Amino acid sequence: MVESRPDSPSTSDTAAGRLADLQLTARTAAGRQFVELAERHAEDFAARAEQHDVEGSFPFQNFKEMAQSSFLAGTVGAEYGGLGVDSLYDVMVGLSRLARGDASTAIAANMHVAGASVAGQFMRRSLAEGDEHTAAMLSALLGQVGSGAVVMCFPTTERGTDLTAPQMEATPADGGYVLNGRKIFGTISPAAQLFFPSVRIPKDGGGYLTGTAMVPGDAPGLVVEDNWDSLGMRASGSNDITFTDVRVPASHVFAVKDNYAKVGQGFATFALTANIPLIATFLGVAECATAHAAEAAGKRKGPRKRRLADRIPIQQLMAEIEIDLATCRAMLARVGQLADEFLARYETGDPLSAESNALMKETQCMKYVVNRKSIEVVDRAMIICGGGSYMSRHPLARLYRDVRAGPFMQPFAPYEALEYIGKVSLGLDPALDR
């Protein structure tokens, strides 16, 4: 094989340029501002990521800086002090960029950013339905988020159930409700001042309604357990949160639906808005790993001082990485566009179940592929970088542990996704067989 000329550009010289040429880009002016902030923050956060990973500590400084830059208010309207990003596609791109610097920070920030978007959507729906009280409450909330005064946590996960069927109960009492239950994976909880747990509400005559409660972080009976100790995403602050006889006024339990254990309709807006950017963070992890692999391939090794990049097996591994990245980007872009169109059509009302299920099917197809391909990209990057990447302080060791979190995130786990996709494709009721 002919050796490269000494003055030829190395792989490491061109890695950043290749990412910039091929990466997903925002489509709106507000979205481009959001992505630029994400890139700026990612550069700073990358320098702290290792320490937080080793310590399992929460990156409070990262969230202070994102609040100051208005990144955390990205999806809040400009009239409330936010950036006014109204494209889920652009939010998805921004969160993927942030994940290149620190995936833990990205998934935690997504919970808040997506929650603010859902709050805006629900406020507009409340106005359309004439529910001025709920609209005013949410308007005040958006003002707090826009000013950077509030960080929100949306604990929806519980052991032994799924997102559509919460077991945490809101029991009517004294004109309000009493909350009891335990949530797990309460991502961003160390930094939050407001919590929005999903709850079930007993119906007269049996059965339950589902809804969301708004609970201040200092409410008596609410405890963030500080017990997050995980293989990866160690700095996401995804603690358990317990609610013991927590009292909330009736006005702070909203979005109440008689759609217990159903995936479609009202659930679709929340699931799409929170889930699509979350899935995109794993593309960001894969892109970061690719940059590390390209840099390693550009270095000269061995007695002949040849570059790894000049070896055919390394070229083949990089080709497989590029194919997987192209696949992930294409699927994310398609679903992001479909989601924007869907949310625009149903800004003030619920869609038909069939349409919700069809789009959720496409989202689950995308999630299944992006989660798997991102893991494979990081794995190949480690092979290219060699044994050093197996050491705990190597950036790829952290990226590999972080990227493994994707398939566990709901909705759905891989085996559930396959069931859901198959049922929708066959025209069956997509309720999962639990």
The domain ranges of the chain are 11-151, 169-257, 266-425
Looking at residue 115, its amino acid is G
Q: What is the pLDDT of residues 251-293, one digit of tens each?
A: 999 878 775 444 444 566 778 899 999 999 999 999 999 999 9
According to CATH, what is the number of the domain 11-151?
1.10.540.10
What single string gives the DSSP state of each residue in 273-333?
A: HHHHHHHHHHHHHHHHHHHHHHHHHTSEETTTTEEGGGSHHHHHHHHHHHHHHHHHHHHHH
Q: Would you call 168 exposed, middle or buried from its count of C-beta atoms within 10 A (0-12, 13-18, 19+)? A: buried
> What is the structure's pLDDT at 164?
81
Q: Are 71 and 63 in contact (CB under 8 A)?
A: no
Structure tokens belonging to residue 328: 């992930």
Structure tokens belonging to residue 95: 């969160």
Q: What is the pLDDT of residues 225-260, one digit of tens each?
A: 999 999 999 999 999 999 999 999 999 998 787 754
Rounded to whole angstroms, how far apart are CA atoms 59 and 49? 8
> What is the structure's pLDDT at 269?
74
> What is the structure's pLDDT at 6?
38
The helix/strand/coil state of 212 is: strand
Structure tokens belonging to residue 293: 């692999």
Rounded to whole angstroms, how far apart are CA atoms 150 and 63? 11
- CA nearest to 91, candidates 32, 139, 41: 32
Rounded to whole angstroms, how far apart are CA atoms 44 and 295? 20
Rounded to whole angstroms, how far apart are CA atoms 17 and 52? 29
**Which helix H or strand E contains 223, and what residues bound it?**
strand 222-224
Q: Does domain 169-257 have CATH number 1.10.1060.10?
A: no
> What is the structure's pLDDT at 19?
52
- Neighbouring C-beta atoms of residue 243, cutoff 10 Å: 25
Q: How far, in Å, are 178, 195, 212, 300 from residue 203 at the CA level?
A: 15, 24, 16, 69
Rounded to whole angstroms, how far apart are CA atoms 224 and 74? 26
C-alpha 39 chain-centroid distance? 17
Rounded to whole angstroms, how far apart are CA atoms 236 and 13? 32
Residue labelled with tokens 């995804």: 238
Rounded to whole angstroms, how far apart are CA atoms 222 and 58? 19
Rounded to whole angstroms, how far apart are CA atoms 122 and 287? 34
Does 11-151 match 266-425 in CATH topology? no
Q: Are 109 and 99 in contact (CB under 8 A)?
A: no
Question: If you ran DSSP here, which 8-state letter would residue 389 be given?
Answer: G
According to CATH, what is the number of the domain 266-425?
1.20.140.10
Residue labelled with tokens 């929340």: 270
Q: Are 168 and 179 in contact (CB under 8 A)?
A: yes
Q: What ranges make up the beta strands (E) of 106-146? A: none
> What is the structure's pLDDT at 259?
55
What stretches in the chain show pLDDT beneath 50? 1-13, 260-265
